[in-house]
Structure 1
């Protein structure tokens, strides 16, 4: 097990220009893989056994990676801002309230993602992926598990170094607790009235519709920043027991009705919370399923829709403790002795 492995992301001021530091995330898998393309030239030539070694050009094509984490109640704002189109925040005396929204145009920044991989001899190799732009995300809550957030990225380029001084600093929250299923609650509203659902699993996904292959004849293989080229798709699924109340949700499905969904998470760190709201969802199936060895189950896949009122299709509000004010600069020069 690579105990010293680490993953962090840092916001870039300019696409493809490395950040100066990263915010550490406790990733659960290492999926950051570089892509290469070989341009091969083969033609008639006497004595040729196969393609010649000097007829193959290797091209840097960027790559893809995923940050898969248990959602913590402190320090997750950067990853959420990568996944959503719009991010704003306000400060109170003790808390910072982040608001993330879907929008017509993606205003999400690009990121530098540093993956530190230790060799079996104990040497750290820092892989620096620049121009990272989120393309997909998934939020999942399931009984007897932590709440998880997965964000998939496209990146422009990657380099690596074994020099400790070249590794970007990693900043972790001083204290954070994972959100878990026991502190997660769902609220569904149909026709202005709440409908109870004994759900055991919730998931929501986003395909951000990004065009990632923006390569041009400009003297370099490096791509330009991905842009939105397709209508984003947001979907999800609820799983639970079939009850008299959940029958109302089946009836909403067969009638094609639009209902609203809210997911509330309460953090263990004092003053923390996370809320996801989708004012317009439409169930896409399916019928309840009886069983010979369990209660009748109800699976409700859904599609998130634009409510058409000007409000966001999805709004997420993440509340964490207000960051400490930076220390004032130290005095310099000769003190005035009066």
Structure 2
């Protein structure tokens, strides 16, 4: 017997674009909107005696799939999503203990593709029905963290096709997962930052004690082509990556002029957002999620009165490539006991 709570997601990395893989990672998720998104055409030819569009003239012209997956940031199992977003990833053991550090940066080549299977149970306790998506690539993603909230990650996927005849793969969840929340967070803005290495987090910068919300949106700029003759209306090749777009926003209480002046002077800032949670994995090593933006310019705003309430600033920003030798524009660092992503 099942209930409507028994929805599931499973991901498996494909050996090549669109080649089915067996799901082997199963995230706990908040919501998903994975769907079939066809382009249907209707013939417009005139026929004597007919005033309505005809059934026989309705046809499938193009086939696409995809949608969003929203989940909470956990201390295990998050690496598969970070690798899917960025594409260039490393994993190294930290010392001789069980802790491993993943460092994810933007690929200069191709994005990985995945087979994603979602299971949806029939009403009334029926069997879980599998809906399997091949050739799923991350189109965009958003990290969000706010006071009193759990850190969340939403990924938007572009998939080649959906099939319903693949057998359902039962879920196997990681043990002892904890959550990253606002309580575990700290943020440094400005100052001098040392980029992360294979086993060390980014360090340095100036601690900012006035930030209450932070959002980062990332886009891979994938192309819309690849629908060629012989591919049966589906994308015939892996999506090509385009120019990266990395933008975000912060809400800050107005207790100093650092952000105001950085905006007015269009000063380039470095931002390090770090969450460390739970018990130590080994001596001095705790589960961690870190975002490092190596060159950020602010898009606003100048402080304004707030009707007698404490003044806050809603500050948009754009993450750019500072062209510093050996330093990437965006890093996502993940520490856990996971030995792979």
TM-score with structure 2 setting the length: 0.88
- 1:70 is displaced (CA, Å) by 0.6
Whether 2:260 is the aligned partner of 1:250: answer yes
1:205 to 213, 217, 230: 217
Alignment partners' CA distance in 2, 1:319 and 1:43: 61
> Structure 1 residues 107 and 172, CA, compared in 2 at 3 Å: closer, same or farther?
farther
Alignment partners' CA distance in 2, 1:305 and 1:322: 30
Alignment of 1:109-124 (within 5 A): 109-123=112-126, 124=128
Contact 2:187–2:207 (8 Å) recurs in 1: no
Deviations 1:102-158 (CA, angstroms, capped at 9, x unpaired) = 24x244310111111112122211100111000111111101110001111001100
2:8 to 6, 12, 28: 6
Question: What's the counterpart of residue 314 of structure 1?
Answer: 330
Alignment of 1:34-53 (within 5 A): 34-53=36-55
Contact 1:60–1:157 (8 Å) recurs in 2: no
- 1:85 is displaced (CA, Å) by 3.1
Question: What's the counterpart of residue 330 of structure 1?
Answer: none
Contact 1:212–1:225 (8 Å) recurs in 2: no
Alignment partners' CA distance in 2, 1:108 and 1:182: 33
Q: Which runs of 5+ in 2 are unaligned?
A: 194-204, 282-286
Deviates more, 1:177-186 or 1:89-98: 89-98
Alignment partners' CA distance in 2, 1:122 and 1:213: 42
Question: What's the counterpart of residue 145 of structure 1?
Answer: 149
Question: What's the counterpart of residue 253 of structure 2?
Answer: 241
Question: What's the counterpart of residue 159 of structure 1?
Answer: 163
Alignment partners' CA distance in 2, 1:210 and 1:151: 14
1:277 to 283, 292, 305: 292
Alignment partners' CA distance in 1, 2:306 and 2:335: 41
Contact 1:91–1:322 (8 Å) recurs in 2: no
Question: What's the counterpart of residue 139 of structure 2?
Answer: 135
> Structure 1 residues 150 and 53, CA, compared in 2 at 3 Å: closer, same or farther?
same
Contact 2:192–2:270 (8 Å) recurs in 1: no
Question: What's the counterpart of residue 184 of structure 2?
Answer: 183
Q: Which runs of 5+ in 1 are unaligned?
A: 325-338
Question: What's the counterpart of residue 271 of structure 2?
Answer: 261
Question: What's the counterpart of residue 202 of structure 2?
Answer: none
**1:138 match: secondary structure:** strand
Alignment partners' CA distance in 1, 2:252 and 2:330: 23
Alignment partners' CA distance in 1, 2:306 and 2:31: 35
1:227 to 215, 240, 254: 240
Alignment partners' CA distance in 1, 2:112 and 2:293: 23
**1:18 match: secondary structure:** coil
Question: What's the counterpart of residue 18 of structure 1?
Answer: 20
